[in-house]
């Protein structure tokens, strides 16, 4: 197995030595300028990649991180500054500031400013380069610290203490960031700054509207605007239940002008099953207060949630279906595929994941997977909704495969009003 240190060293660039091999150089810096500044680039958040994708993928991302750190030379840090590895398993890069600065010894304000610039630069670059493996919240944190020369203390001890203080700085910065995120998100919820947009779900052969999926947006122009980011940050701040409840209520309140007979698709998190507002008659009253009836509401749960929370869902959903609500299982084909458990939930709709639909017209494997899942859907009495349709070729292939319903930018983008599908995009397959 590739170790983090080996992954960082890599074959194409000079390896980075552990800082203990550079203690003599660091001692000379302490002697020359009387102090030693440090930036500690904590990349331990990337270790999750190894658990999810294996050591090869982890080594690849760590090599990207190493390359980006080395590229800082001559830009964010001086070419003469000492860049090396933390000894503790390669989970951090260390940049020790040398004394060759015209402005004199490095100061705390300069360290803080440099840490902020380096952190912003690395996260922006890493997010773009490592998108297949990293969520938007997988970020590096850059701490900083300063040590003074003390002739009574061995240099190894001074540098070790410097590292401890830099790690303390990292922990403080993380805690501050988490607190700020929680406060910001609480403000969004308290001020009711969420809005709902609707994306049409279309009958591909009849060219008519089956219904609309309610999608939540945070404040425009903020980091909370897109739902994935919004819920990622809510999970980090332990506010998923509160956010999900707000989104669901906002979806029902915004659906008062829903076209007659059109269905409303609403996403549901597992925690909603414990919400008194979501159970039995309470949900019926909430829906009917907005001029809807239970038979026009489709509750979407993800395939992952349906499998991991099967007992919870099975009990709760049986009560909801008895009262007239329909169930859709989302993200089918995304990699979980506990089809037996899904079958026992008896969903009215199966929503095929966009990754299965993408380029289906040019992928034999995706077409065959869709055929197999379509057979499964038919056997349990479920209709199929293909998500993420963006190209005419995908649409025509899905029609040819007998998929009944579709959703995606080609058919209609999310909007604040109930709009018809893009009619020119739908035509019979040749």
153-157, 190-194, 225-229, 325-329: range with highest mean pLDDT: 325-329
Q: What is the CA radius of gyration of the chain?
A: 27
Q: At what angle do helices 23-33 and 155-190 cross, to 10 degrees?
A: 90
Read off the pLDDT of residues 348-377 as tens digits, 9 standing for 90 and up.
999 999 989 999 999 999 999 999 999 999
Contact between residue 14 and residue 143 where contact means Cβ atoms under 8 Å apart: no
3-state secondary structure of 4: helix
Of 112, 146, 179, the one marking the end of a domain is 179
pLDDT at 337: 63
In-domain check, residue 412: yes
pLDDT-wise least confident of 91-105, 213-227, 289-303? 91-105
Task: Tell me, yes or no, whether 67 lies in a domain.
Answer: yes
| Position 187 in a domain | no
Query: What pLDDT score was predicted for residue 9?
Result: 38
What average pLDDT score do residues 3-28 get? 62
Domain identity same for 51 and 162: yes
Tell me the residue range of the domain where 170 lies: 4-179
Contact 392, 362 (CB under 8 A): no
Contact by Cβ (8 Å): 328, 351: yes
Q: How does pLDDT run across 17-73, given as a tens digit for each residue?
A: 888 888 888 888 888 888 889 999 998 888 777 777 788 888 888 888 888 888 888
Residue 153 within any structural domain of the chain: yes
Identify the pLDDT of residue 371.
Answer: 94
**Given this model, what pLDDT does residue 3 score?**
39
426: pLDDT strictly greater than 70: no
The pLDDT of residue 430 is above 80: no
CATH classification of the domain holding 27: 3.30.70.270
In the numeric block, which tokens belong to residue 336? 């979980």
88 or 386: which carries more pLDDT confidence?
386
pTM here is 0.72
**Are residues 344 and 204 part of one domain?**
yes
Write out the DSSP string of 277-329: GGSHHHHHHHHHTTT--GGGEEEEEEHHHHHHTHHHHHHHHHHHHHTT-EEEE
Q: How many residues does the chain have?
A: 430
Mean predicted lDDT score pLDDT of the chain: 84
Residues 133 and 209 in one domain: no
Higher pLDDT among residues 249 and 233, named by residue: 249
- Which of 179, 203, 226 marks a domain boundary? 179
Q: State residue 62 phi and psi, 5-degree precision.
A: -65, -35
405 within a domain of the structure (yes/no): yes
In a domain, 373, yes or no: yes
CB 145 within 8 Å of CB 166: yes
Give the model's pLDDT for residue 100.
59
Average pLDDT for residues 128-155, to the nearest whole number?
A: 79
- What is the per-residue DSSP string for 59-87? HHHHHHHHHHHHTTBTTTB-TTSEEEE-T
DSSP 8-state assignment for residue 270: G
- When divided into structural domains, the chain yields a total of 2
**Pair (105, 221) in one structural domain:** no
Residue 281 inside a domain? The answer is: yes
Same domain? For 127 and 237 the reply is no
Whether residues 98 and 122 fall in one domain? yes
Average pLDDT of the segment spanning 162-183: 90
Q: How far is CA 55 from CA 13, 32, 91, 203, in A?
A: 19, 42, 14, 44
Q: Are residues 266 and 168 in the same domain?
A: no
* Same-domain pairing of 14 and 108: yes
pLDDT band for 335, please (50, 70, 90 cuts).
low
Residues in CB range of 109: below 8 A, 6 or more apart = none
Residues 217, 170 within the same domain: no
Percent of the chain at pLDDT exceeding 90:
33
What would the pLDDT profile of 310-319 be if each residue is shown by its tens digit?
777 788 888 8
Q: Are residues 159 and 259 in the same domain?
A: no
Q: Sheet of 35-42: strands edge to edge? A: 82-85, 92-97, 35-42, 141-148
Q: pLDDT-based confidence at 429, cuts 50/70/90?
A: very low
- 186 inside domain: no
Average pLDDT over residues 313-342: 83
Residue 399: the pLDDT is 95
151, 266: one domain: no
pLDDT value at residue 358: 92
Kindly report the CATH number assigned to the domain that includes residue 273.
3.20.20.450
Q: Minimal CA–CA distance to 418: which of 242, 223, 248, 215?
A: 215
Give the position of tokens 């079958």: 343
Q: What is the DSSP letter of 199?
A: E
Confidence of residue 8 (pLDDT cuts 50, 70, 90): very low
DSSP label at residue 103:
T
Residues 197 and 237 occupy one common structural domain: yes
């Amino acid at each position: 197995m590739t170790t983090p240190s080996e992954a960082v060293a890599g074959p194409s660039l000079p390896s980075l030595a552990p800082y203990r091999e550079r203690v003599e150089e660091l001692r000379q810096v302490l002697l020359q300028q009387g102090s030693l500044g440090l930036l500690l680039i904590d990349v331990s958040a990337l270790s999750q990649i190894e658990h999810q994708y294996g050591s090869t993928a982890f080594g690849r991302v760590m090599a990207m991180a190493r390359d980006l750190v080395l590229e800082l030379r001559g830009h964010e840090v001086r070419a003469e500054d000492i860049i090396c590895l933390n000894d503790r398993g390669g989970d951090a890069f260390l940049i020790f500031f040398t004394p060759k600065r015209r402005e004199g010894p490095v100061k705390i304000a300069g360290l803080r400013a440099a840490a902020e610039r380096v952190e912003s630069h690395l996260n922006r670059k890493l997010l773009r380069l490592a998108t297949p493996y990293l969520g938007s919240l997988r970020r590096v944190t850059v701490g900083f610290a300063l040590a003074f020369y003390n002739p009574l203390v061995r240099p190894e001890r001074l540098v070790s203490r410097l590292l401890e203080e830099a790690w303390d700085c990292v922990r403080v910065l993380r805690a501050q960031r988490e607190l700020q995120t929680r406060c910001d998100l609480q403000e969004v919820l308290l001020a009711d700054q969420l809005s709902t947009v609707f994306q049409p779900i279309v009958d591909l052969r009849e060219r008519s509207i089956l219904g609309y999926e309610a999608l939540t947006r945070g404040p425009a122009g903020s980091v909370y605007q897109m739902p994935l980011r919004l819920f990622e940050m809510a999970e980090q701040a332990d506010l998923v239940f509160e956010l999900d409840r707000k989104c669901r209520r906002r979806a029902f309140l915004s659906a008062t002008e829903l076209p007659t007979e059109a269905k409303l698709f609403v996403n549901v998190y597992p925690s909603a099953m414990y919400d008194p507002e979501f159970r039995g008659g309470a949900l019926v009253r909430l829906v009917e207060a907005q001029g809807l009836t239970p038979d026009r509401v489709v509750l979407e749960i993800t395939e992952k949630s349906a499998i991991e929370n099967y007992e919870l869902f099975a009990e709760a959903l049986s009560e909801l279906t008895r009262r007239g609500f329909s169930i859709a299982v989302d993200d089918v084909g995304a990699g979980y595929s506990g089809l037996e458990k899904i079958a026992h939930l008896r969903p009215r709709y199966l929503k095929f994941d966009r990754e299965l639909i993408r380029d289906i017209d040019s992928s034999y494997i995706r077409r065959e997977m869709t055929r197999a899942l379509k057979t499964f859907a038919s056997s349990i009495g479920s209709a199929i909704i293909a998500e993420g349709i963006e190209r005419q070729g995908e649409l025509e292939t899905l029609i040819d495969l007998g998929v009944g319903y579709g959703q995606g930018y080609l058919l209609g983008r999310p909007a604040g009003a109930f709009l018809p599908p893009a009619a020119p995009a739908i035509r019979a397959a040749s």
